[in-house]
Amino acid sequence: RRYAHTGAKWDRREITWKIRNYSPDLTTSEIIDALRNALQIWGDAIPNTFRRVHVGSADIEISFSVGLHQDDYPFDGPGGTLAHAFFPGDDLGGDAHFDDDEQFTVNAYEGTNLFIVAAHEFGHSLGLGHSSEITSLMAAFYQGYKPNYELPYDDHVGIQSLYGARQGSIPSLPDVPIAGAPPGPPRPDLPVPNTPEPGPDPHCANSYNAIAKIRGELMLFKGKSFWRMNMKGEPLEGYPIDTSRFWDQLPVKLDAAYERIDDKILFFKGSSYWEYFSTNRDPSFPHPIRELGLPDDIDAALPWGDTGKTYFFKGDLYWRYDEIKKEVDSGYPKKVADNWDSAVPSNMDTAFRFIDVETKTWYTYFVRSKKYWRFDESRGKVDKGYPRSFSEDWMGC
């Protein structure tokens, strides 16, 4: 379950906004600050900028009204519907209307927090529909006042799939937790480190540490960088970015990563593994991989659809782990060559499954250094013509 696109988006970087009138509940500057912060919560994630205009029309026009107002969707008095907005487009497109029968407040738990309602409606103004992820900003229900609000993962993923990621760097946290330091997202108030620019074409890295399908998208990890791919397997604009921009204290140079059947995301490095819920690290980790009944370190992890089985690879051996019983199935490890295909490489870097959207065929891909092998699951064989160059076929190098 996750965010929803409406297909509408602004095709320009700078988006204008204008306040048509004000609610009597707050001072003018309280309203302006709340609305500006609500736009900026999106602006921090995407390359677009928001410019306030005072005269003429704007992309996003904001107004406070009661009952029947200038569209076909009358408000309903206190409670119930708090606001609504229109998806990107001409005229009403992008506009956000707030029900002034609510008692809007700022920085308080009482009343209806204008910032959080506005941030949600501006998600619509930018092209997002309602998300079924109940903890996301774009879930339809009022979430109440939340100090130091951060854009949740689902919304982050959703808006960046529409507009790409904002370039520029945000200070990264040390990749080893400081004893006693509370976990938490990056702190923008730290000075920006002068991280050296990645090489001439960051997409064309020679190899990748880990590739995993997470929330339906392919994510590639290499060193401290990570990429996201769209449904067609093309890199999203604005990537790679620094993992610390997205994940909470993620180690660098991973060995493997995968999304488990319970939506948790697991990362493996050396003899340890970490468990994340969305981008937040479970503070009780790392744990030793050995507790799973696996060897001290692994090359790749491959979840197998919704069967609850996950394959782990190391050298020329593989294990089948049962996520429900939380143990390795009996009879493992086995030889990869005996049960998959002798063409499947040993000592692989990573493995992942991906569906060919045209033919609706599932393939498993094994990657080692610059090469990849495509394993046709229906035939149980590596397709002819493989290995091929991963960067050429997948990263457009």
Partner 1 sequence: APATSTNEPGDEDAASPANLVTPVQLRSGYNYLTKYGFLPKPNPLAGSLLSHEEFNEGIRAFQEFYRLPVTGVLDQSTSSLMELPRCGLPDIMP
Q: How far is CA 121 from CA 86, 127, 172, 216, in A?
A: 8, 10, 30, 25
Among 107, 307, 361, 389, binds partner 1 (CB under 8 A): 307
Q: How far is the CB of 302 from partner 1 (least distance, A)?
A: 9
Among 91, 141, 188, 325, binds partner 1 (CB under 8 A): 141
Token code pair at residue 308: 């609850």
299 interacts with partner 1 by CB under 8 A: no
298 interacts with partner 1 by CB under 8 A: no
Collapse the DSSP code of 393 into the 3-class scheme (helix H, G, I; strand E, B; otherwise coil) and give the result: helix
The span from the CA of 365 to the CA of 281, in Å, is: 27
83 interacts with partner 1 by CB under 8 A: yes
Answer for the pair 336, 344: CB distance below 8 angstroms, yes or no.
yes
Angle 122-128-130 from CA coordinates, rounded to 5°: 100
> By CB under 8 A, what part of segment 182-241 binds partner 1?
none
Among 2, 9, 69, 130, binds partner 1 (CB under 8 A): 130
The span from the CA of 122 to the CA of 128, in Å, is: 9
Q: Which stretch binds partner 1 (CB under 8 A): 36-44, 76-84, 224-232, 285-293?
A: 76-84
Q: How far is the CB of 141 from partner 1 (least distance, A)?
A: 4
Given the complex with partner 1, which of 17 and 86 has the nearer CB atom? Answer: 86
Q: How far is the CB of 391 from partner 1 (least distance, A)?
A: 27
Q: Which of 121, 133, 237, 358 is catalytic?
A: 121
Token code pair at residue 309: 């089985």
HSE-CB of 7 using CA atoms within 13 angstroms: 0
Q: How far is the CB of 309 from partner 1 (least distance, A)?
A: 5
Residue 318 makes CB contacts below 8 A (sequence gap 6+) with 311, 312, 332, 333, 334, 336, 339, 340
142 interacts with partner 1 by CB under 8 A: yes
Collapse the DSSP code of 19 into the 3-class scheme (helix H, G, I; strand E, B; otherwise coil) and give the result: strand
377 interacts with partner 1 by CB under 8 A: yes
The span from the CA of 135 to the CA of 154, in Å, is: 9
271 interacts with partner 1 by CB under 8 A: no
245 interacts with partner 1 by CB under 8 A: no
Given the complex with partner 1, which of 105 and 112 has the nearer CB atom? Answer: 112
Answer for the pair 127, 5: CB distance below 8 angstroms, yes or no.
yes
The span from the CA of 32 to the CA of 89, in Å, is: 23
Among 22, 285, 304, 386, binds partner 1 (CB under 8 A): 304
- Of 164, 184, 238, 201, whose CA–CA distance to 11 is shortest? 164
Residue 146 makes CB contacts below 8 A (sequence gap 6+) with 113, 116
Given the complex with partner 1, which of 79 and 193 has the nearer CB atom? Answer: 79
Q: How far is the CB of 74 from partner 1 (least distance, A)?
A: 9
Among 91, 189, 306, 358, binds partner 1 (CB under 8 A): 306
342 interacts with partner 1 by CB under 8 A: no
Could you count the other beta carbons within 10 Å of the beta carbon of residue 208?
24
Name the residue type at position 279. Answer: T
Q: How far is the CB of 311 from partner 1 (least distance, A)?
A: 7
Q: How far is the CB of 156 from partner 1 (least distance, A)?
A: 19
Given the complex with partner 1, which of 173 and 351 has the nearer CB atom? Answer: 351
Q: What are residue 210's DSSP bridge partners?
A: 221
Residue 144 makes CB contacts below 8 A (sequence gap 6+) with 109, 113, 116
380 interacts with partner 1 by CB under 8 A: yes
In angstroms, what is the C-alpha Rg of the chain?
24
Counting every residue, how long is the chain?
397
Token code pair at residue 12: 């320009």
81 interacts with partner 1 by CB under 8 A: yes
Size of the site for partner 1 (CB under 8 A): 36
Active site residue 121: yes
> By CB under 8 A, what part of segment 106-125 binds partner 1?
112, 117, 120-121, 124
Q: How far is the CB of 178 from partner 1 (least distance, A)?
A: 36
Active-site annotation, residues: 121
Q: Name the site residues for partner 1 (rule: CB under 8 A).
A: 1, 4, 6, 73, 75, 79-85, 99, 102, 112, 117, 120-121, 124, 129-130, 132, 134, 140-142, 304-307, 309, 311, 320, 339, 377, 380
